[in-house]
A and B are shown apart, each in its own frame.
Chain A
Amino acid sequence: MSSSERVLEVRDLVKHFPLTQGIVFKRQIGAIKAVDGVSFDLRKGETLGIVGESGCGKSTLAKVLMALERPTSGSVTINGKDIAKARGSELKRMRRNIQMVMQDPYTSLNPRMTVGDIIGEPFEIHTEVAPKGDRRKKVQELLEVVGLNPDHINRYPHQFSGGQRQRIGIARGLALQPEIIVCDEPVSALDVSIQAQVINLLERLQNEFDLAYIFIAHDLSVVRHISDRVGVMYLGKFVELGKDNDIYDKPAHPYTQALLSAVPVPDPEGREQRERIILQGDPPSPANPPTGCRFRTRCWKAQEICAEQEPLLQIRPGTGHESACHFAETHDVVHAG
């Protein structure tokens, strides 16, 4: 159950990567605007899903939240403290509270370390969580929590299947008892029959430990299943943010509508009549985004105002949730036709 306690507040977060020219005298000639003004809150026990195409800045956002990258501007406040400004021991202390589960369980585990070492490594850094003698027991408890055999503590990652490895990654994320876990495409590398097992595990852990998730994925049906709220990203900005039902049943932004209509529906009935908005071309480069609304170059509703004035993310007439379009209008694309 989600209580109203905010654990994470993100305000106007910006991350630009400089583009430079020259070897000795490097001059900045521009910037990749990977994340360009993102704001949201996350409450205890809540899941915020983030969807968008590759290159929209989802993963950069995750890295900035984890303080793996310093933001260009803006703030990431965890329990009242800004992690973006924290340094040294304070940063280390704050990091305990926000952990990550990576996408690829094959490359995110060190093949030369045993499972016990992998899951126990966070305790080496944060020695206050588990005293040295206690660690083995702690690791075995964690293995049990994620549904692995505690006796396998001395095995190596290659002795496990993809789904089991992802469980190891999740156990490592849980080790420091964080309040927030950032899951960056946690199931996309897994087989269909294994995905459901891992999603069920994540949901069970959330209920058990009252975790808050940032769930980044491109599979929209998985995001809907697990999320309380969903944010849709396009070229470094949220174009729409709302409750899962609002986003999926009443999408107001043309991009969200196009994205939802492009998802193949696993039901062949009536497939000839299904409405499908096919976007032309590829997303523009984040180094040189269009003026005004960033989606206007691919949008069928675009008018002059879209090039001149940037639409802000706000609640618009006729819609119950925030969207960033001058011509926002709810339209149920999934059930239409």
Chain B
Amino acid sequence: MKRTAPEVLPAEGGLGDEPLLAVDDLHVEFHTRAGVVRAVNGVSYTVNPGETLAVLGESGSGKSVTAQAIMGILDMPPAVIPQGEIRFKGTDLLKLSDDARTQVRGQRIAMVFQDALSALNPVFTVGWQISEMFRVHRGMSKSDAMKKAVELMDKVRIPAAKQRVHDYPHQFSGGMRQRIMIAMSIALDPEVLIADEPTTALDVTVQAQIMDLLAELQRESQMGMILITHDLGVVADVADKIAVMYAGRIVENAPVHDIYRAPAHPYTKGLLESIPRVDLKGQELYAIKGLPPNLLDLPTGCAFHPRCPYRQDNCVTSAPPLYEISGTRSSACHYWREVLDGEQQ
């Protein structure tokens, strides 16, 4: 049984000038007993079909909370979205009814979670869990849905899918579990796929397999992909463009080649310089001093100023806007020119 979609639902097909997914000035707060935690403070980014946007940041930078807001899986309360828009093909998802939101979630925008073992239900077979997508969203019969599940497991290259469809999550290795998660997320041909640290818990050899699989699926279906990660290596491998997050804000936005060649924000620069390099062996690594900020009590002005080597007096008092550097690049630093030039010396 297919429910009739309300008219507000984004139309299939053509996009016009509107990006596939646009997050615009998003704010997310958590109202806790200890105070208001400002997890996301004005984040904007866009994703187009076939494009991979990497959202880079440390724990607590707000990268996952932004993704959960897009998916509509934040617990509200304690979470509150006081401001901002999430436009999917021009329709603001935040203004949709719960029913309409459910139609989008999982079908049009899907997500792959970090820890496949805790994201899968241990008491149901993987086949049951994959086929649930078809039973719930498409109203298929149990046996038809199970056939679809086998097809999907083949597609994500799980060997002997026909037999293994009846196995439980604990009977699979970490890499295979992540493949099952991917199978579930692509089941209904979503237009946007959000991958939240999909390979963090995996070994490098398995990570390479999974990233390969994701790239291939994306090529086939032209999904827009948001890859959330803290791994500068993975980003350099697969991303088209990068949004670097710090303390709930985007501090730098750029195409992938530009950012590695010449970062325009001191935080990005610090991250890149702290990677161990062969020619610097035996020397002290560059380390960003200090600690990530407390989201309950963000520093005034630029949130990065207590740790920043480029700090001037105005950084303490005025928060830098996202300065446009070129058509595709921007940096939230008053002194982005100096940072850019410093790299070329």
Mark A residues whose CB is within 8 Å of B.
Answer: 53-54, 161, 163-164, 191-197, 199-200, 203, 218, 220-222, 224-225, 244, 248, 258-259, 262-269, 271, 276, 278-279, 281-282
Contact A193 B287 (CB under 8 A): yes
Q: Which residues of the partner chain B approach A224 to less than 8 Å between Cβ atoms?
A: 276, 278, 281
Which of chain A's residues have a CB closer than 8 A to the CB of B174?
A: 54
Nearest CB on B from A154, distance (A):
20
Contact A218 B256 (CB under 8 A): no
Count of B interface residues, CB-CB < 8 Å:
47
Q: Which of these, A54, A197, A271, A278, contacts B208 with CB under 8 Å?
A: A278
Q: Are B257 and A259 in contact (CB under 8 A)?
A: no
Beyond A221-B277, A263-B204, A276-B208, 4 additional contacts (C-beta under 8 Å) are: A164-B291, A191-B292, A193-B274, A196-B286
Of the residues B58, B235, B236, contact of A191 by C-beta under 8 Å: B58
Closest-by-CB residue of A relative to B58 is A191
Residues of B within 8 A of A276 (CB): 208
Residues of A within 8 A of B32 (CB): none
Question: Which residues of chain A come closer than 8 Å to B175, judged between CB atoms?
Answer: 282
B203 contacts A218, C-beta separation under 8 Å: yes
Residue of A nearest to B255 (CB): A268
- Tell me, rounded to whole Å, the shortest Cβ–Cβ distance linking B309 to chain A: 13
B81 at the interface (CB under 8 A from A): no
Measured CB to CB, the residues of B under 8 A from A are 58-59, 159, 173-176, 203-209, 211-212, 230-237, 239, 256-257, 260-261, 270-272, 274-278, 280-281, 284-289, 291-292
Residues of chain B with a CB closer than 8 A to A259's CB: 204-205
The smallest beta-carbon distance between B325 and chain A, in angstroms, is 18
- Find out whether the CB atom of A263 lies under 8 angstroms from the CB atom of B233: yes
B160 to chain A minimum Cβ distance, whole angstroms, is 12
Q: Whose C-beta in chain B lies nearest to the C-beta of A162?
A: B59
Contacts of B173 on A, CB cut-off 8 Å? 282
A248: which B residues are within 8 A, CB to CB? 278
Whether the pair A163, B291 counts as a contact (CB closer than 8 A) is yes
A197/B287 in contact, CB under 8 A: yes
Q: Which residue of B lies closest to A260 (CB)?
A: B204
Going nearest first, the 5 A-B pairs with the smallest beta carbon separation are A264-B233, A225-B276, A196-B287, A196-B274, A262-B208
What is the bound-complex CA distance between A271 and B231, given in angstroms?
A: 16
Given contacts A192-B274, A203-B284, A268-B256, contact A278 B209 (CB under 8 A): yes
Q: Specify the chain A residue showing the minimal Cβ separation from B294.
A: A161
- A sample of 13 inter-chain contacts (CB < 8 A) reads A163-B291, A192-B271, A193-B274, A196-B285, A200-B285, A203-B284, A225-B280, A225-B281, A258-B205, A263-B233, A266-B272, A278-B205, A278-B208
